[in-house]
Amino acid sequence: MNAGMLHKFTALILIGLWPLQSMAANQHLVPLVTGTSGHADTLLGAASLGQFAFGLIAVVSLIFGLAWLLRRMKRIQGSVQGQLRILAGLPLGSRERIVLIQVGDEQILLGVAPGRVACLHVLQQPLEEKTTTSGAAGGVFRARLSEFMQRGSSK
């Protein structure tokens, strides 16, 4: 949980407890207004219990509402996931990789390093997907990649 979320959560708790604090501060005024302290204590207990229950219900419903909203937002973000696929990857070093991704009908070659992703090339003709073992597919990918890299260096 990051600091911003912690501050918001603390604020929600304090807002939920605020009616209880104001009731405790004004508790000494109630017997003076009603005249009988026994009856006033009963009314104060019922009022404070009602406010506490209302605050608790409000906070719990807020938590469920936010959970529902987050689930809904994930569905919106996840709708693109079917159109995005990683087709192949090739490690270049200990932390660098070249990755071929499919975005809709386009294939894009990306360079991935810690803290940086760069578009290296957008393929004009998509590579064919082969349903073979990953080692053989990696060999085909390496061959096509070296082909594209040689074309790029000759320009």
Residues 33 and 70 in one domain: yes
Residue 20, CA atoms < 13 Å, CB-side half-sphere = 12
Residues 22 and 38 in one domain: yes
* Tokens matching residue 144: 């096509």
- Dihedral over Cα of 25, 28, 32, 36: its sign: positive
Task: Check pLDDT > 80 for residue 19.
Answer: no
Residues 97-139: tens digit of each pLDDT: 999 998 888 899 999 999 999 999 998 888 876 654 455 556 7
The domain in which residue 30 lies consists of 3-78
* Tokens matching residue 59: 């906070």
Residues 35-79: tens digit of each pLDDT: 455 555 666 677 788 888 899 999 999 999 998 888 877 665 555
Average pLDDT of 10-18?
67
Task: Find out whether 128 and 143 touch, Cβ atoms under 8 Å.
Answer: no
Residues 48 and 22 in one domain: yes
Residues 145 and 130 in one domain: yes
Residues 71 and 106 in one domain: no
Separation between Cα atoms, residue 98 and residue 119, nearest integer Å: 10
Question: What is the number of domains present in the chain?
Answer: 2
